[in-house]
C-alpha cells in the first residue's frame, strides 16, 4: 500500500475537492482503495472509445452532470446520483455532451481503454 492509499483510509474524502485538483478528461485519478478495488474519479466530455474489460465488471456513479453508456443494442443515461454496473466482457462506450464527473469502482490495474488501447489510454494508479 502506498502512502496516498494509507492516508485515504484514515480520513473523509471530499470528492468535489479531489475533482478540483485536475482538469484532464478521460484520465481517472484514484482517491481510495479497499482491498484490491480502487475508487477513481474521472472527468468526461465528448465520446470515449468502444472497449470491454474481459476480467472484471466496472461501476460508474455520476457525481455531477449526465453521462451515457452505450452498448451495441441500447444506451443507458445516468444523471447525478445514479449508477450502472457494466458486466465483464461487455463492449461499451461512455459519452457526455457536457462535462460530467463520475466515480469509477474497479479492481486496481484495470486499463481505462480495456482491450481497445489507443491515445485515450491513461496511466494507471495515479493518486490525488
pLDDT score recorded for residue 8 = 56
Confirm whether 36 is domain-assigned.
yes
Residue among 126, 108, 122 nearest 58 (CA): 108
Check residue 21 and give left, alpha or beta (phi > 0: left; psi -120 to 50: alpha): alpha
Torsion of CA 90, 107, 59, 38, to 10 degrees: -160
In angstroms, rounded to a whole number, what is the distance separating the alpha carbons of residues 69 and 75?
6
pLDDT in tens, 17-43: 999 999 999 999 999 999 999 999 999
Share the mean pLDDT of the chain: 94
> Is the residue at 114 inside a domain?
no
pTM: 0.92
Q: Which domain holds residue 90?
A: 3-107
In a domain, 128, yes or no: no
pLDDT for res 10:
80
Question: Does residue 119 sit within a domain?
Answer: no
CATH number at residue 90: 2.60.120.10
> Total structural domains in the chain?
1
Per 3-state DSSP, the chain is made up of helix, strand and coil in percentages (nearest 5) of 10, 45, 45
Q: In the chain, pLDDT over 90 holds for what percent of residues? A: 91
Amino acid at each position: 500500500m502506498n502512502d496516498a492509499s494509507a492516508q485515504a483510509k484514515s480520513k473523509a474524502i471530499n470528492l468535489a475537492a479531489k475533482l478540483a485538483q485536475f482538469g484532464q478528461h478521460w484520465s481517472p485519478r484514484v482517491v481510495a482503495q479497499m482491498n484490491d478495488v480502487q475508487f477513481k474519479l474521472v472527468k468526461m466530455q465528448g465520446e470515449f472509445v468502444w472497449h470491454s474489460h474481459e476480467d472484471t465488471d466496472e461501476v460508474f456513479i455520476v457525481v455531477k452532470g449526465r453521462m451515457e453508456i452505450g452498448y451495441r443494442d441500447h444506451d443507458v443515461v445516468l444523471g447525478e446520483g445514479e449508477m450502472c454496473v457494466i458486466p465483464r466482457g461487455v463492449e461499451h462506450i461512455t459519452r457526455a455532451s457536457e462535462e460530467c464527473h463520475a466515480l469509477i469502482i474497479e479492481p486496481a490495474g484495470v486499463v481505462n481503454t480495456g482491450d481497445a488501447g489507443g491515445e485515450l489510454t491513461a496511466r494507471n494508479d495515479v493518486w490525488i
